[in-house]
Amino acid sequence: MVGLFGGSFDPIHLGHLIVGRAVAEQLGLAELRFMPTGEQPLKRGRHVAAARHRTAMVEAAIAGEPGMRLERAEVERPGPSYTVETLRLLQAREPGRQFVVLLGADAVPDLERWHQAAELPRLAQLVAFARPGAPRPAHPWLHQVVDAPAVEISSTAIRQRVAAGHSIRFLVPDAVAAYIATQGLYRNGNG
């Protein structure tokens, strides 16, 4: 089975990678694909960095990591990134492959607001990850809930640190920090 870990990744950070690896190991996934959204429907207009930058940062973050891969399906398709459409595209591209959509516990309450949400459990297994001390999500569409390590790193805080001229070392992979610096991302709060 192939896990799909989607998100804005604005920027991707070590918390994403730690949680992704832990969840992939618990589920015994053959592969974990990090899938940056082109335009997240529930966060329209709130991406700071352009999709090409977010994609490049994901690629840099997972370079050389066994079992991790970049999935470009949502950034290559114009318009809003609807998971249901992505799953249909992936199934047409890779017939017979089983997909697992990984969701943070915070995404579960909004699940029914997703585009054509009722189709999702027919197209893939939906697996939520919960952090220690947080309530475990429950929803009839969830195939499983797995534990994820608590990593207190946020993309918002990283962007704020960059804008303030502070170090982001130990928060993002070195390759991502270098990319942010060379591209001038997040300075003065812009992408």
Q: For the whole model, what pTM was predicted?
A: 0.93
C-alpha to C-alpha distance for 17 and 184, rounded to whole angstroms: 23
Burial class (CB in 10 A: 0-12, 13-18, 19+), 72: middle
31, two tokens: 């592969």
pLDDT value at 42 more than 70: no
Name the pLDDT band for 158 (thresholds 50, 70, 90): very high
What residue ranges define each of the domains in the chain, with the CATH number in brackets? 2-189 (3.40.50.620)
The mean per-residue pLDDT over the stretch 36-54 comes to 81
Average pLDDT estimate for 162-182 = 97
pLDDT at 153 over 90: yes
Contact 35, 73 (CB under 8 A): yes
Range 35-51 average pLDDT: 79
Residue-wise DSSP of 128-169 = EEE-TTSPPP--TTEEEEEE-------HHHHHHHHHTT---B
Range from 21-30, 74-83, 128-137 that averages highest in pLDDT: 21-30
Out of 41-50, 94-103, 130-139, least confident range: 41-50
Nearest to 103 by CA among 2, 7, 1, 180: 7
The pLDDT-based confidence of 189 (bands split at 50, 70, 90) is low
For the stretch 124-143, pLDDT in tens is 999 999 988 888 999 999 99
Band of the pLDDT at 44, cuts 50, 70, 90? low
Question: How confident is the model at residue 182, as a pLDDT?
Answer: 97
**In the numeric block, which tokens belong to residue 62?**
């997972």
